[in-house]
Every structure is written in structure tokens, then in C-alpha cells.
Amino acid sequence: MDIKHTLTLSDNGCKDCYKCIRNCPVKAIAITENKTEVDASRCIACGKCFIVCPQNDKAPQYHLIRVRSFANNNNKLVASIDPTFLAYFPKSEKTIVTALKKLGFHHVEETAVGIDRVLEEYKNYYNQTKQNYYITTTCSACNLMIQKYYPHLNKYMIPILPPMMVHGKLLRKKYGDDIKVVYFTPCIASKIECTDTQLEDCSIDAVITFDELKDWMTSKNIVLEELEEEDFDQEGTFIAKKFPVDGLKSMTDRITSAEDFLQVNGGENIRQVLESIAQEELDAKFIEINFCLNGCINGPTFYNSQVNLFTRKKQVSDYANKKAIENNLFELAEEIKGKFYREFNDKRVLNLQPSNIELRKILKKMGKFNKKDELNCGTCGYETCRDKAVAIYNHMDTPNMCLPYIRNKSETMSNLIFEYSPNYIFLVNKDLKILSINPAGIQHLNVEKKHDDLHLATILDYTDYMEVFETKKSIYGKKIRLEDHNLTIIQNLLYIEKQDSILAILNDVTKTEEKEKELIEVKKNTAEMVQKVITKQMVIAQQICSVLGETTAETKVALKKFLDLTMEKSGDE
């Protein structure tokens, strides 16, 4: 299964705090389009990102859906539960069995049964081989870490399946191959390792975290305190039950001497010991590694536990001490001997390295033009600015995620606008004190250069400002006349609720107003001139009409006389 299906960060919850990136030991979280995304090829599923996220994002319950489908299809379910269950579900050493059977499980056993067998396999492998180092492989996150980031050390990894898978094989031998084995754990990385397509015959069908189990029981109204007690079908030995607390420390004498044994917990410590192994600097030969600091008892599921680490350790230890169990599955294990081996693959992460020229280009995009600009503050999640530049080169990050760069850019832009804007800009508090005013405001509002403790009333009428503070509503686009300054302005008063202050932006339209007045005067003069021309033309037209009227009348009389005379002459003839 793709890691993305198990380890996904919420798009909605992300607030760009970069805490997940800062805490990710292998920097497997990419920022794309302001969204956090887990890079499956880099992730080791340690669960750090979920532990530290302030938004409490969790892994999707992919396996829980699968298990529910098993139950709905009447599959025979068998549970393998990690010994740390008692630290998550206090006082449930017997009722947890009843709860799981109510959820549809036919058999319930402790994963500690598999731990006993792993220890035996380790001893056999150690005695039968000769190599410089032996690295334990019980921790899924460590297994992924070595294969991806230290594949040259694969040769030192003990090629034995982890306890959950060994137990899964024992369960199949005991109850039949048609069963569905579900592993309950505080570990997220187990989900990934159990679904590794390169790992043949995993023997585990699904992995459920204790968080998921709790949600499942809640959905079925199962309350542990109200259930009857029931024994496990098979328990682990005293030593195996204490494995989440002590690791292999208490079992070392079965394998090697104390001088040859080294136990290392915690991601950073493991990184250092792996580098020492690569350089062959260690005296110890048998190295037990657990990614979670203090071991499995401090796995990701316990990050929000109300019970502290030392109380959890005591709960598991007390449970282990109550009853000494002898593992009666050794005969069964011997029947499938040889099937507990595995191979480790080279899954190395290809981290491309930019050339010096390319690196310098990226640094410039981040606002790093010289060594002094490389603050190496680590806010972005990377130890150095150059580490971040390499991440950008590998498409894992963006230049604008550099906080000093963003701040500097923002302040520069803000300062430029404030300093060079032709508008008069100032900030007023609720006491009507001017906190800051830009150069244009100082010049045109006749403010002295030393304007500390300047009251608004000394330069402007504050009526509108009082209204804004009282109503907490901004005023936009109000034209007012400042007679004392001989200015006409468009006033914008923006109320800032968080600071209980007003940002005033005054747009000087004095010249525009004067030009409009001049234009109106020109129009008026032009209109008067046109009116005079029209009046004069009307007089001339009337005079012309008058003259034309007299001439026409005279012509008409003459023509009438001529016509009458003509008619008279025609009659005589």
C-alpha cells in the first residue's frame, strides 16, 4: 500500500507553522501550493508529524475499514495485540479480550508470543554467521529508515521478520491459512511494513492502532469497565511482555555478552549510531535500535495519553510480573522453521544536488544574496538555508517559506508604500494620538518632524474619527474640505479591530477640484459667448427677414399690376 494512504496531513488543518517539517527526521514533508503533503518515497512512518501537529491531524483509518469489511464478510478474525495495550487501556488485561471478541474476533493472543520466537531466531542467526555488526529489525520505522537512507548498511540488518509477522505465521499454522490476522499496536510504521509489496508472505492482513481500536469500540458502545474478564488464547512469556519497556536488554545474555550489546532509542541517536557503523567506529557488535525514544511504550499512539511515561512502564511491567507464562509454541515454530527470514531492499532516496550556480540562484530567490543573509534560523524546518535550497531544488519546498525573507519582503513593500505614497497615511489610537504618519502627511498637514505624542485635534477635525471608534465601522470615500490646510480630500478611515485603532488614508483631490472649477468656469464662459452669438444672429436674422418681407410685398404688388394690365389688354382684343 502507498504510504500516502496511511500518512496524510489534512489540507484544511494546516496553518503554515512548519512544525511537522521541523520535527520530521528525514524531511519527508513537501509544501506544494500551500499544502503539506507526505512524500511516500522519503517517509519512514515514524509518526512525528502527527505527534507535533497543533491541529491534531491523524492518519486515515484505512486498515479499520478493511477489518470491518472482513467482519462483514464473515471472515475468521484472529487478533494479535501488542503488550503495550495495558498502557493505553489501563486495567483491561482481561476485558480487552472480551471487547475484541465482541467486535468479531474468534481468537485473541498477545504479540509477545512472536517476540519469544524472534529472540530465538536472533540467537541462531548470531551464532551461525560472522559479520562486523548485527542490527535488530524489530522496529518498522528503523527498517524503513535504513533501507531508504542507509541502504549500504542493509547487510548488517538481521534478516528476521518483526515479532508481529512471526506471530502471524504462528497463528496461521495454529488456526489455518484462511484466517485474517489483525495486529493491534501503538505503531504507525507497522502499517507500512505489513503492506510492503516487496515483502512476500507478510502474514498480517491489517494493522490497527490503539486510537482506531478505541474509536471502533466507541462506535459499538463497548465499555471495557463493564465487560466480563476472559483469558487470552495465548500469552507471551514474562520477558517478552516486558519487551516494550526494556527491549532486548534483559534478554541479551541469551544472545551475546553485555560488552558487545548496545541499545539505542530515538531518531537522532539512531542516525548517529548508523553513521558510526558506516565508519566502523563502534566496539559493540549487536545493536538494538528503536525509533521511539524509550521504546514502543512511547509510540505515536501515546502522544496524547493522560498517563505519563513512567506510569505506563510500571503498568506493563506489573502486568508482566503477575503471571509467568511458558511459551508452548516452540514445537509449532520448529515446524515452520526457516519461514521467519526476510530480505531488505535498496529503497534509497534520490536527493538531487544542485550545482554551485544553481544553488546560488535558489538562494537569491530566497533573498540570500551573501553569507550574512544566510541566517540558518531553522524556522522553515531545515537546519541551514542551503539545506532548504537543496529541498527547493528537489521540489520539496518553495522559496517563499523563508520567514525572514517573507518578513523582509513584506516590510520592504509596506515601507515603500508608506514612504512614497502621495496619500496622507497615519495611524490613530483610541486616545486620538497619531502613532505614525508618512512623509506626505507630515508635509501637507503641516506636522512637525518631531511629532511624538501628537494629538489628532491639533491638525484635523476628529468628529468622523470618534464616530468610527464608537460604531466600529469604517468610513470610505467621504469628501471633506480642510479649510485650515486649504485642501480638499477623499477621506478613508479603516477601523482595525484587533488594535482598536484607525488607519487613515487621505487622498488629496485639491488640484483635481481646482481643475474641475476651472473647467466649469470655461464651460460657463463658453456658454455665455455662444449665447451672445446666438442672440446677435437672431437679431441679424430678424433684420434680414424684415428686409426680405418688404421686398417681397413690393414685388407682389408690381406683379399683380402687371397681370391685371395684361388681362385687360386680352379682353379688348
pLDDT digits (tens, 9 = 90+) for 230-279: 999 998 888 888 888 888 887 777 888 888 999 999 999 999 999 999 99
Region of 34 (left: φ > 0; alpha: ψ -120 to 50; beta: rest) is left
The answer, yes or no, to whether residue 374 has pLDDT greater than 90, is no
Confidence of residue 301 (pLDDT cuts 50, 70, 90): confident
Confidence of residue 552 (pLDDT cuts 50, 70, 90): low
The pLDDT of residue 183: 96
> pLDDT tens digits, residue range 318-339?
888 876 566 555 556 566 666 8
The answer, yes or no, to whether residue 282 has pLDDT greater than 90, is yes
Most confident of 33-37, 144-148, 538-542: 144-148
Is the pTM value of this prediction over 0.75?
A: no
Pure H helices in 73-220: 85-88, 95-102, 112-128, 140-149, 163-175, 189-193, 210-219
Q: What is the fold of 421-508?
A: Beta-Lactamase (3.30.450)
Confidence of residue 197 (pLDDT cuts 50, 70, 90): low
Rounded-to-10 torsion of CA 29, 32, 37, 39: -60
Higher-confidence position of 367 and 545:
367
* 33-70 per-residue burial string, b: 16 or more CB within 10 A, e: under 16: eeebbbbbebbbbbbbbbbebeeebbbebbbbebbbeb
Least confident of 205-214, 336-345, 538-547: 538-547
Q: Is the dihedral of CA 281, 286, 291, 294 positive or negative?
A: negative
Mean pLDDT value across residues 301-323: 85
What string of DSSP letters covers 351-416? -----HHHHHHHHHHTT--SGGG-----TTSSSSHHHHHHHHHTTS--GGG-HHHHHHHHHHHHHH
Compute the distance between CA of residue 516 and CA of residue 518 in angstroms, rounded to an integer: 5
Mean pLDDT value across residues 178-188: 94
Compute the distance between CA of residue 157 and CA of residue 173 in angstroms, rounded to an integer: 26
Q: C-alpha distances in angstroms, 182 versus 62, 80, 337, 369?
A: 13, 6, 22, 55
Q: Please, what is the angle between helix 112-128 and helix 163-175, to 10°?
A: 110
Cell of 70: 472482513
Instruction: Specify the residue for cell string 506544494.
Output: 32
CATH for 1-60, options being 3.40.630.10, 3.30.70.20, 1.10.3720.10, 1.10.10.60: 3.30.70.20
Least confident of 69-73, 142-146, 417-421, 440-444: 417-421
